[in-house]
Structure 1
């Protein structure tokens, strides 16, 4: 009895059913070159190559599981909405690194595509994948591989978008777009596949969940799910707003992360200033330098002429115009005073020290001539006395009465309320004629806008904007001469 020798050859792919091909070997092979079907036997072993998935998804209602922990981590991102892989060119984000690498090819030139169409000498189109090349080559051969799936329709198309257009025009209601949602009960359609994929995700009610520690579910309980990214972000803004963790802020919250980051820079600046102050005090031998307003940190704009540093470009520009170019744009409004200043606060100090005495004196003289009750202390001090002396502090200045009188003093730029002769300035005629009224208004204003507000608030009349503006231009300064 001869021993039979058998050899086995495994045919198949990874993670697929294996087929074992057994070929009987004879010690004296026959000269025939053909293989008999009796000597060839194929057996289906139904044995899987893939390992058992040992990493299941822990989210309630999700039955997916993976053989690797890294694959499970990628899947978890589909629940949390995290997209850590960001394209540096267009800022698009992706769940997996492989998706980002595939997207990055779209930014490369067409010459980098490895698959070239050889069916036509004039075509020479290039593609990233062999599948796209094969689909394109079918257009040259005239093959139509896309058939309509509707029963009774035998139409064939060479391209997929042609099949979609046919389905929308022939087998769908009017106005249907090429990409149709197949979810039960949903009749929406979209112009692009990207919009359709984004819409399909909205049908998943357990798509997003909050990962904040306060929202983590307890044992044997399901987390709170949100169907859209917008609803999750609204929840985070309302329940978990950005909070400053600095001890001096006591849990202060902000409307956005941008505002929080801007606020945290203040704490960093204060800490740096404290460190610099300690170093200066320990190393300084002379008197300590006067602290500048706004601190020393963050002065990134430096004057190239004098070396002085500023915290904004606007401050540097103002310094250059005033100090180095000699601009004096703040001019004293008094007629016989030709003083001009580079900064507004210098003009205000000039008006307070120089012209406040003359204004108070004129106010006092006016009030005495009108029979108003005044005191002896209302008379301002002489020009030799400073404005802040004790004699200058009258009761009217302390209570603000003198300021009120000065604000009503007529000048070349003021106007007096024309009431009751305002019928030509109103939007609608008054219910009762005003011309016969004996009451006059002595209120003094400076702008047409103020006159319209005064007429509405004090007299209950609505002034016409164009009429009031033209009247003010022609009567400006009349309050001083009247």
Structure 2
């Protein structure tokens, strides 16, 4: 009568093993989860199976407790836990060599298997070959232990990895897509399922890694918490006050504080604190202008980029115009003025050449005002003529409206308007 087919199959993705007993399946599933519930009370080693623990516990017992004793020689008297181990040992006394070399023309035989493996490596294999050799075609690797060989053999399994993303799950009755290596699977995930921000304001923004996404999500959490704190403060005060100037990135999470006496600036990362210390207190200028005739150096990359955009790009647009080469942080030289820079023609030419810059919408800014200010008359410090100022960030536009036009715009509305302008 043929044996019954296995009924208990492993549910782990990519594992085809099955067992006739649920207890064996449970033991096998521990190899996927890493659970090792059976621990030795003496040395605290843990095992997947209870039988493995029992075999290990006997290693702590004295030799006198081993039931099988060698009787071949009165001088031997070695003891063993199993009769199989005793029989293997007795073969060393009788001279029986049951492990014969299978290579053609070789009549060597050995009493122990590891001796045969060493013989094959030394005599019938290239120099440097280890005892456990991979028998996969076109693979010549060898290993010192059987465990390392088993781990290596998984590399030759083309069905080793599969994607568990919901969009990649196959319909019922069909097999999923498999990947031979972990690198191939990760490449598939980065291409087809990149980490995506679920916050409504990000509109499905993707990131190169999960670590970058987690750092980005902390910004949303801090902004939501700051909004809640502001709402509570306004409810307690009972009156609306002018919004205080906010730093980029918010006020929460600034745990890295400069320890220089008299400074006290705080930052949101150790890297930002280190950069501040190198630039402000040590005076390092590592960002150098690449133009041969320009010896400008900057402590921050964005200052170098601004220098290249204002000085060298504008020179290419209009060779006859003069640029403002002064910088509040790096240079003490005064600006060289021309009629173009005085009348604003150089500024407008630079604004037209950069598609990332967006013009200030003043005086049509009613849609950027807070809800309580809607319908109110726009009466800024400047005239009602069209404003020619250009910005690249919502933060800059908010500060410009406050400084030049005396308007306190709603930050969230400015953010949404800037995003819409950049998409159009």
The TM-score range, normalised by the shorter chain, is 0.3 to 0.5
* TM-score after normalising by structure 2: 0.47
Higher helix share: 2
Structure possessing the higher radius of gyration over alpha carbons: 1
